Each structure stands twice: as structure tokens, then as C-alpha cells.
Amino acid sequence: MKPKVVVYKKVDKKVLEFLQNTLDVTYFEDLDPQTYPIFREKLKTAEGILGAGLKVDKGLLDQAPHLKIVCNTSVGYDNLDLAAMTERKVMATNTPGVLNDTVADAIFGLLLSTARRIPELDHQVKIGQWGTIPDEEWYGVDVHHKVLGIVGMGGIGADIAKRAHYGFDMKILYHNRSHNKEAEQKYQATYCSLEELLQQSDFVCLMTPLTPETEKMFGKREFALMKKTAIFINGSRGKTVDEQALIQALQTGEILAAGLDVFVQEPVQKDNPLLNMNNVVTLPHIGSATNETRIKMAMLAAENLVAGLRGETPPNLLG
């Protein structure tokens, strides 16, 4: 009998077929109030789960007594309680590497859009304001030759540094748990304390994973340390930032602008003050979302799932 698994996020047909070759797959394109009760029922017999964002904690593990492996179709795994999973010998995997370039492209897009006010100006042109507003009011700030501070210099951070170095002649500062020799050698990135980075950077790009240590890593103090002309980019998780402090820093002019792919609550609440600010550019947590990359991520997660249930060590085993 094939092991039973649950896929709870939409995956490409090829990925689904690959899984179905060796596994008994229950497939949900997404979980919503209608599908969730069926999903919970399926958990009772599932040996594996594949998808992104589902909170896997003690409560869920209690409902899934046969579970052996949880495969995230994401590099981040803040949705997984690894300690609880290890205790029950449930494996966890993620999808590092395959999304680095795609996320770096998106983050750079966000950075350029915020600095040059692209979404705001696009809107002005489309509502017929071209010619009615003095040009200077539409000016942005330069990106090239500026100082980019990257907080969290993993694979994605390094690919952002690569673009900044080769494409925009930027000076790169970074702060990370450990030194990234490759980024230092290839992109002339300089390691520094968080304080120094905040004080010296024109653009501060937050890319760190969400962990108990990085939760609300950016608050009142961090925004106060930044230049008044600084632009803040968040491509990590919403909860790495104290959102109220960010709102205040933007409202009081403590920083110039922000480009945000992530929010404390997702989808973002309609009444979030960040949505009413012209100096904030938003994206719906879409850094890795291109067709090509999402297929690669889902396939990698699927390979992890198949390997894990075959009794092999999954290629991206966490913990």
C-alpha cells in the first residue's frame, strides 16, 4: 500500500504526478473553512504533509499520529515547531537555494520601486495627472552608488548583494549571525554591527528568518538609529518588525519610505495604516512567486517527501 500524504497548497501537475507515482495523495489546492474539516480528517492517517505556511505545532501533531515528515514548499520554516516535531520523530524539510535569484529580483524590484516611487507615479500618470504636478514633486532618490545594509546574509541576501554590487555600484554592509566569506570576497560586502549598519545605510534590507531571537528585531530603537533619508525593505517575515514602530517611524519622518513584501498579519488587514501611505510600496508576500521558481520549490519539497517516506535522509532535512 502506498503511504498516505496530504498536499495542502496548489502544486504544478508535474509535481502532483511525481508524488502520485509512489504515494497515495490527498490534494487540496488551498485550505479554507470548507476544506479544513476534510483536511483534519485526512491528517489522522497521513504519513506526510506538503505545503507552505500551515502551523505545525503540538495541537496538529496530536491529530496526526502517523506523521513522519512535513515538507515546506518554502525556505522559511517559522510555521514549524521543530522541537515538538523532533520529540515525536517527525522530520521537517524546506526548499533552500532554488528561490534565491527570484526572491533577490523581487526585493530589488521593491527597492527600486520605493526609491523611484514607481507605483505612485504609475497611478498619477494613469489618472491623468502628468503635466499638472511640478516635476520635482515626483522626484525619487538614487539607488546606484548608495550604501545598502543587508540584515541576514544567507543565500538570498548574497544574491541581493550581487545585484547591488554588479548592477548598481552600491557599497554593501551586512549583519548576520556568522560571516559570509563569499559575499565579502565576491561582492565586497563588509560585516558590521547592526547599529553601524543602521546608522550608515541608505537602504536597509531585512532578510533574516523569523526565530524567537529575530521576532520584533526592528523596533523604535532601530528605526531611530536609521538615517532620516533611509528606505527600509522587509523581505523576511512581518513579525521580525514591530509594525507599530514602523508605522510611527514613517509617519514622523524618522525614515523616508518602506517597501514591504511581508506583514504581521497576512493577508494584510484593510485598515492597516501602512496601506494609506504614499511612501510605502507593498507586495502580497510574493518574493518567490514566479511560475518557474514555484515549480522548482514544489518539486524539491516533493523530492524530500518521497525520500523521507522511502526511509532515506531527505536532501533538505532540518534540525
**Residue positions annotated with a catalytic role:** 237, 266, 285
* Of residues 79-108, those binding ligand 8YV (CB under 6 A): 99
- Of 200 and 288, nearer to ligand 8YV (C-beta) is 288
- Select the span of 13-21, 34-42, 67-75, 191-199 touching ligand 8YV (CB under 6 A): 67-75
Q: Residue 288: left if φ>0, alpha if ψ -120 to 50, beta else—which one? A: alpha
C-alpha neighbours within 13 Å on the C-beta side of residue 76 = 24
- Select the span of 128-136, 171-179, 283-291, 305-313 touching ligand 8YV (CB under 6 A): 283-291
Residue at 111: amino acid letter: L
* 297, 50 Cβ separation under 8 angstroms: no
Of 48, 76, 238, 259, the one binding ligand 8YV by CB under 6 A: 76
- Position with the least CB separation from ligand 8YV: 76
- Select the span of 27-35, 70-78, 158-166, 269-277 touching ligand 8YV (CB under 6 A): 70-78
- The angle formed by the CA atoms of residues 67, 303 and 236, to the nearest 5 degrees, is 85
Secondary structure letter of residue 205 according to DSSP = E
Distance (Å, whole) CA 160 – CA 169: 12
Report how many residues bind ligand 8YV under the rule CB under 6 A. 10
CB of 260 to ligand 8YV, least distance (A): 13
> Could you tell me which residues are beta bridge partners of residue 80?
56
CB of 278 to ligand 8YV, least distance (A): 26
Who's near 145: CB < 8 A, 6+ residues apart? 168, 169, 170, 171
Of 61, 75, 151, 189, the one binding ligand 8YV by CB under 6 A: 75
Positive or negative torsion for Cα 13, 18, 24, 29: negative
- Of 11 and 67, nearer to ligand 8YV (C-beta) is 11
Residue at 27: amino acid letter: Y
Of 19, 43, 74, 157, the one binding ligand 8YV by CB under 6 A: 74
CB of 107 to ligand 8YV, least distance (A): 11
- Of 80 and 249, nearer to ligand 8YV (C-beta) is 80
User: Per rule CB under 6 A, is residue 52 in the interface with ligand 8YV?
Assistant: yes
* 140: its cell numbers: 525619487
Distance (Å, whole) CA 319 – CA 310: 19
Residues in touch with ligand 8YV (CB under 6 A):
52-53, 73-76, 99, 285, 287-288
